[in-house]
Structure 1
Amino acid sequence: MKLPVGEAEHPGLIILQIDGLSRSQFEYAIEKGNLPFLSKLMRRGHFTLESFYSGVPSTTPAVQGEIFYGVRAAVPGFQFLHRESGKVMRMYEAESAAAIEAELRERGEQPLLEGGCGYSNIYRAGTAFSRYCSQDLASTELVRRVNPLKWLVLGLVYLPKLLRMAGLALLEFAIALADAVKGFYERENVLSELIFVPARVVVCILLREAIRFRILLDIERGVPVIHGNFLGYDEQSHRRGPRSAFAHWTLKGIDRAIRDIFRAGDHSAYRDYEVIVHSDHGQEHTIPYERKYGRELHSAVAEVFSTGPMAGTEVWMRRRSELLGDTMGRFRNLMGMQSDSVASGTPQPESQIIVTAMGPLGHIYLPRPLASEELENYALELVKSAGVPLVLLPQEDGTVRAFNGRGQWSLPTHAAEVLGASHPFLAEVTQDLVALCFHPNAGNLLISGWDPEGEPLSFPMENGAHCGPGSEETRGFLLVPDRIRRWHHARLPATGTRVRGEDLRKIGLHFLGRDGTREERVAERLQRDRELPLRVMTYNIHSCVGLDGKVRPERVARVINHFDPDIIAVQEVDCHRLRSRGYDQAQLIADHLRMTHVFHAMFEEQRERYGIALFSRHPFTTIRADYLTEADPRLFREARGAIWVKVEPEGGKPFHFVNTHFGLGRAERVRQADELLGERWLGTVPADEPVVVAGDFNSGPRSRALQRLRQRFRDVQLAVPGHVPIPTFSSACPLLRIDHVFVSEHFTVEGVDQPFSPVARIASDHLPLCAELTLR
């Protein structure tokens, strides 16, 4: 990718994933002050907090498969038997990730990150550039990318940043040693505590800083879409538990990295960026199986299958009894080492019982089919003798038999008895769990550590875990910027209580302009128009000159677009003026919004024009576009005018809409108000026809000019019970309420809103004002 020239027409999207942070732990971190920057953006209204539903299995390769390719349950777990190849896959291994991604490319849709960059993900997802993803850690890939001269030059150029990373690593090393001492005191294994120290420094600090550095470079290069995955919290949570102080300590560093990325995107000279922050899943606080029962799962499963039709069949299982979570696996991969395995030899699915259980969800693969009664007997023994909290057995009729300590059940019928009546996603998680049992690579029996009436188990030695159907592990969080939230609430009504991977994918594709054909968008728009209130806006765009001095019509259009408005009244619009690069700003904004528009000039000199414009997604007829008062050079007063159209929504009732921009003098504003209400303008509109008047009136709510207008129309900011009127000028520090929307008695005002996002504050010296109306 080359350095950009000029400015990009389309915005960029940065998706940042905080791996493993559940919504409840996110809220706890906000409460404790461990995410100060994200907390500040939420208080300012830039982000809206929503629940992210991971689906089942609640693990990164499954969730990212859904986000990047639109495929639910891309894998049946983090570790599983790939039946076609006969290999046991672990999804941080390069070969496993490459094989599954090849299948996703065949089954799924266009990858979300096509032409972009990705960091620390499972899949490359169509990126033009990726680092620290599973496939990037193959030994051949690492050798191919070694360029000593390049790294020497980069090391010299970015020496201060490298020194910063080294300092942070030393600090984390000291904290890690203290954490290890704490582990000794709590009688953890000494060797595993010492091994975890360098793993923690690499995964939690060096990888985080490398991702931050790479994304900052990508912003400078104008990359259109970027996805970065911060692993530190997830790895610490596996070891110490999701609410542990050390796990939450890592969130402070992640928050600082997000702060730097957000600010860089906000000040990009080439492309306007929007940032989405989410977690792919949460974690349950778990008891390790071995700690509870004093033996490994492998030996317990071998004992269960030592009798009956499977007697004498060897049980194969990769065991990592002292390895907590997948931290060491990631660490070894990042260091270019081979993966470890305690199990001897290559698995033989045709002759061995294969057990895969990396986390609180596992699969048992049998070498030959068994009768239904025989499988049920083994399932009962796994619960009774082995102490497995939940065993699932798929049935030929598409249902699933579930076995736990309280009896035998059928899914989906007995969802509450199996998963808990208080589960936040009970219906969805039941549906996904049933589907998982019939996954092509699922085991003949599925085992789970989830127990809604007891403390969950995890089969490895870890104090925090995810992969199963638990209420915490399936409930992540999503921070949606305001302009994106409006679109997905309007188009994806089911996401009112949660967003899942496929929804986040749709949101991203829409923002990037890759969400279907024009015909599909038109059909979607018509459906939305029938279901939602009318949304009108007024916005003084200051000739598209932002507070940063940059002329960006496309930035103004994006501020407008985040409201998803139907009709927009815009003031201070330039056309072919040298001061604003000669743009026809109304046409550029109309093209960006895909709307019809009308422009009326208040000033003309040769080709240069300056005036007001109106944009509408509904058909309209222009009734009048003219002056309210002429220019008066003696008093240094500009001409002021209005645009009056009749809007005719498809299948809806027509109404009048007026856009105006009043002058700066008190007396002239009164004259302009009287003229607007007079016989040349709205005085001729019959009393039974609805009217909306919007614009920059340069007048406060108590002015004589607005008192004239309120004799016939209602101020939308005063028509909503409990609403506190919001000022619109200036955008940097709003103090004055001079932009207004007035409506006739035919409308009910459903709500009033305005953005106070960083982009809106800088795009113009005014903030827009938006009102939702229902025409009675």
Structure 2
Amino acid sequence: MISRITARVRWLRRVLNRTRLASRLLGVRRPSGEAEHPGLIILQIDGLSRNQFERAIADGNLPFLAKLMRRGHFTLENFYSGVPSTTPAVQGEIFYGVRAAVPGFQFLHRASGQVMRMYEAESAAVIEDELCRRGEKPLLEGGCGYSNIYRAGSTLSRYCSQDLASAEIIRRVNPLKWLILGVVYLPKILRMAGLAVLEFVIALADAVKGLYERENVLTELFFVPARVVVCILLREAIRFRILLDIERGAPVIHGNFLGYDEQSHRRGPGSAFAHWTLKGIDSAIRDIFRAGDHSDYRDYEVIVHSDHGQEHTIPYERKHGRDLHAAVTEVFSTGSLAGVEVWSRRPAELLGNTVGRFRNLVGMQSEGVEDGSPHPERQIIVTAMGPVGHLYLPQDPGAAELEKYALDLVKAAGIPLVLLPQPDGGVKAFNGRGEWSLPGDADKVLGASHPFLEEVTRDLVTLCFHPNAGDIVISGWDPEGQPLSFPMENGAHCGPGFEETRGFLLVPDRIRRWHHARMPATGTRVRGEDLRRIALHFLGRDGTREERVAERLRTGRELPLRVMTYNIHSCVGLDGKIRPERVARVINHFDPDIIAVQEVDCHRLRSRGLDQAQLIADHLRMTHVFHAMFEEQSERYGIALFSRHPFTKIRADFLTEADPRVFREARGAIWVKVEPEGGKPFHFINTHFGLGRNERMRQAEELVSERWLGSVPPDQPVVIAGDFNSGPRSRALQPLRQRFRDVQLAAPGHVPVPTFSSLCPVVRIDHVFVSEHFAVEGVDQPLSPVARIASDHLPLCAELILR
């Protein structure tokens, strides 16, 4: 155990030293001191559905995330993408709070008359400009973004859609810097080269398989280098940039790993090739998580999520023997629109976004544009990049003829679902089983077993009325058969399907508490706007404290109370370093309301003369009280209590005083009455018992006497926390057990955990006791490398509800 932890520390030190050297070469300044506010890193695994995520966990393709889930660091939840289930729409909701920012990945922008493809720099810039006017403040303001659609207010963005223009790349290249970095990162570069070669070999095997399955030869060969760039080089570049951002203390970072999504488009979401890429993504997340966990400047937390999933699809052309352009042309060859030219912007092979992103990244022009620029006033415009498409008509043929065209699209063209918005705000839906109305016939159109049936129906209706939606909306979704996608791809997303709308979200325990208490309306799912609220709250940008208190009073919901006890060992870690800020970081991990700490130094020479209680309180942004057990001139040593709620100190005194003949040192307690705003008051006592059995029994008797707990009326709630230097069955704790409950025994389904020593916990001597007024919701204990090394004790945190 010790050798494993020591090896990990050495590895992490090498990574951090290399990152710091790189940051100097790139002119990145490492800030001094400590940040007042925590930092947030949001990592997106593009296109990975909840079901495929669980399969990857079971198959061992995400070992680091699986380990964090086993340890209870992450809670797994459903992430609902909304409709369209595509990255530009979901990121618009997360970054700006705007639902359905776009009606698809490709669509006609009616105001400009241009067809937008959202991986193109110009398209992303136009839509983001609209989001800035319509939405709220961008989430990444002052932070960094990588491989996203939008810059979202970030001061530094790389590999986003707007960054892929060749002019942007040329402007940013500094050959000398990259040459020096190449020398510094030579081992890493060699590893990346090895991975690229391996990926290239796998890609060639994949290409051979594609040729065997009669795919297009040139497409298969072109996909090989594109796949290496997007799945390997881009991933490593994102990892490197985020490590630099952690070094310089960026407040919020969002990175999007594209490899799985790109592979899924080509070979399907369940393919071995797609799941292979998850191992590299998991490795990148591991490095980022550990670097954030060991940041000297800012206290980071990590959220991992997918923006959507993917459906396993059949390409429309493969099933029907002709492409969508030809089918639409045939349908509109009769009636009032007969003779009107059909325009579509369609590559012969559309491999997800991989080829398009690759062309943009290297500054190549897009190919496959047919008939030049569109003319909406005299052409039928078809946009269908994925399993959702839009048909824009140059004139209104009338309701009856429009319905006839819709029926022909289903029967003659073989399109699974056709939608027509109605003047009354509803939508007529046509599929192979008949004509239906939305939202009333949602089960007939979308499937009765859809996990988000009510919400996805509402979003699909809203999509049909989007300002940039087509006059006719088409979809490849069929709840009773395998869905279609209009490009040549075996995995797709954008529509209302079971898999494509159901992503996943890994919420850290520190954030989960607030999320579940404040947002119960989300039920079994979180969507983009909810994730935005969670992030804004964590970053302290969701309004004033008074507004949050008013919300609690208005809704009548009680937040769980988190109490913690922690012997901080004078902030001296097992590595010998005196680090109050590291102790505060361990405490902050659980976002507690009240913390009882023991062994606190104040102005002692042995701990560099620091006022440790004040430093920790400043870092936590909490009020505190300190009581000295030992005092000699200006040096003091004792216990402290921190609280985010107002409190009144009732007593801070000795339980037994120092007496060389009996007790080696004085022991005492701090007693406060906590008065949460809008909540019920309760008593809280922090104590630290002695090492001898007889003195501990004396101290326990004094604590329950009329001078202390004996004077508290039976109808008033009490919490006692501290280092009792006694096991749970010891005689010293009997007076407390007779009146109060041990939270580790009261928590449902919890197996009591030891707290000492931190490196290898074997004894349970730190305790939290509560009166019958509290329900114990859970007990937590951090097992991170930082917690194991920050002190010789592990903290103990209990989540309580005051009944």
Question: TM-score, normalization: structure 1?
Answer: 0.95
**Does the residue aligned with 1:531 lie in a helix, a strand or coil?**
coil
Q: Per-residue CA shift, 1:551-596, capped at 9, x if unaligned?
A: 5545544544454444332222333445445544434444555544
* Segment drifting more, 105-114 vs 553-562: 553-562
CA distances 1:495-548 after superposition (whole Å, capped 9, x unpaired): 341111111112222222222223223324556884244443322233344445
Pair 1:537 & 2:564 matched? yes
Distance 2:680 2:513 in 1: 24
Structure 2 residue corresponding to 1:397, chosen from 424, 444, 464: 424
CA distance in 2, matches of 1:48, 1:652: 27
Gaps spanning 5+ residues in structure 1: where?
none
Q: Is the counterpart of residue 178 in structure 1 residue 211 in structure 2? A: no
Which segment is superposed worse, 41-50 or 728-737?
728-737
Does the C-alpha gap of structure 1 residues 273 and 774 become closer, same or farther in structure 2, counting only changes over 3 Å? closer
- Counterpart position of 1:626: 653
Choose the corresponding residue for 1:188, options 197, 215, 228.
215
CA distances 1:97-144 after superposition (whole Å, capped 9, x unpaired): 111111111112221112222211111111221211111111221221
How does 1:396-545 map onto structure 2 within 5 Å?
Answer: 396-524=423-551, 526=553, 530-545=557-572
Please report how far the alpha carbon of residue 688 of structure 1 lies from its aligned counterpart in structure 2 after TM superposition: 4.1
C-alpha separation in 1, matches of 2:705 and 2:556: 33
Which letter does structure 2 place at the counterpart of 1:490? A
| Match of residue 325 from structure 1 | 352
Q: Which runs of 4+ in 1 moved over 6 A?
A: none
1:19 aligns with 2:56: no
Q: Secondary structure at the match of 1:275?
A: strand
Distance in 2 between the 1:78 and 1:774 partners?
46
2:572–2:579: 8 Å Cα contact kept in structure 1?
yes
Query: How many Å separate the matches in 2 of 1:745 and 1:279?
Result: 42
Residue 269 (structure 2) pairs with residue 234 (structure 1)? no
Q: What CA distance in whole angstroms lies between the structure 1 residues aligned with 2:710 and 2:504?
A: 53
SS at match of 2:382: strand
Quote how far apart the aligned CAs of 1:768 are.
2.6
What's the offset of the Cα at 1:201? 1.0
Q: Secondary structure at the match of 2:638?
A: strand
Q: Aligned partners of 1:272 and 1:230: how far apart in 2?
A: 23
Structure 2 contact 755–793 (Cα < 8 Å) conserved: yes
Aligned residues of 1:60 and 1:280 also touching (Cα < 8 A):
yes
Judge conservation of contact 2:517–2:557 (CA < 8 Å) in 1: no
Superposition deviation, residue 156 in structure 1: 2.9
d(CA) in 2 for partners of 1:565 and 1:414? 47
1:26 CA drift (Å): 0.7
CA distance in 2 between counterparts of 1:211 and 1:184 reads: 32
* 1:350 maps to 2:377: yes
Give the aligned partner of residue 75 of structure 2: 48
* CA–CA separation in structure 2 for the residues paired with 1:668 and 1:154: 61
Does the CA contact (< 8 Å) of 2:596 and 2:721 recur in 1? Answer: yes
Quick one: structure 1 residues 36 and 107, their matched pair in 2 at CA, closer, same or farther if it must change by over 3 Å? same
Match of 1:71 in 2: 98
Range moving further from structure 2, 143-152 or 101-110: 143-152
Q: How many residues align?
A: 776
Q: Any conservation in 2 of the 1:692–1:742 contact (CA below 8 Å)?
A: yes
> CA 1:488 to 1:775, structure 2 compared with 1: closer, same or farther past 3 Å?
closer
Aligned residue for 1:206? 233
- What is the rounded CA distance, in whole Å, between the counterparts of 2:236 and 2:715 in structure 1? 64
Aligned residue number for residue 412 of structure 2? 385
Partner of 1:277: 304
User: Separation in 2 of the partners of 1:774 and 1:129?
Assistant: 42
RMSD: 2.2
Spell out, residue by residue over 1:276-321, the C-alpha distance to the aligned partner (whole angstroms, 9 max, x if none). Answer: 1111111000000000000000010111111111111111001223
Q: Aligned in 2, Cα 1:647/1:516: closer, same or farther, shift over 3 Å? A: closer
Distance 1:311 1:114, change over 3 A: same
- Say which SS state the counterpart of residue 644 (structure 1) adopts: strand
Report the alpha carbon displacement of residue 617 of structure 1 after superposing the two structures with TM.
4.2
CA contact (8 A) 2:337 2:397 kept: no
Q: Please give the secondary structure, in 2, of the residue aligned with 1:480.
A: strand
1:524-673 superposed matches below 5 A: 524=551, 526=553, 530-580=557-607, 582-633=609-660, 637-649=664-676, 653-673=680-700
Aligned match of 1:255: 282
Q: Distance in 1 between matches of 2:55 and 2:636?
A: 55
Secondary structure of residue in 2 paired with 1:219: helix
Are the equivalent residues in 1 in contact too, given 2:30–2:249 (CA < 8 A)?
A: yes
Match of 1:338 among 345, 365, 368: 365
Give the SS at the match of 1:601: strand
Alignment partners' CA distance in 2, 1:45 and 1:577: 37
- Letter matched to residue 255 of structure 1: D
TM-score between the two structures when normalised by the length of structure 2? 0.92
Partner of 2:22: none
Say if 1:732 and 1:436 are closer, same or farther in 2 by CA, change over 3 A. farther
In structure 2, distance between residues paired with 1:768 and 1:26: 32
TM-superposed CA distance for 1:774, in Å, is 4.3
Q: Secondary structure at the match of 2:437?
A: strand
DSSP-derived class of the 1:10 partner: coil
CA distance in 2 between counterparts of 1:524 and 1:755 reads: 30
Q: 1:530 to 1:218 in 2, by over 3 A?
A: closer
Query: What secondary structure does 2:297 align onto?
Result: coil
Question: What amino acid is the match of 1:417?
Answer: K
User: Residue 296 of structure 1 aligns to which amino acid in structure 2?
Assistant: D
- 2:32 aligned with 1:5: yes
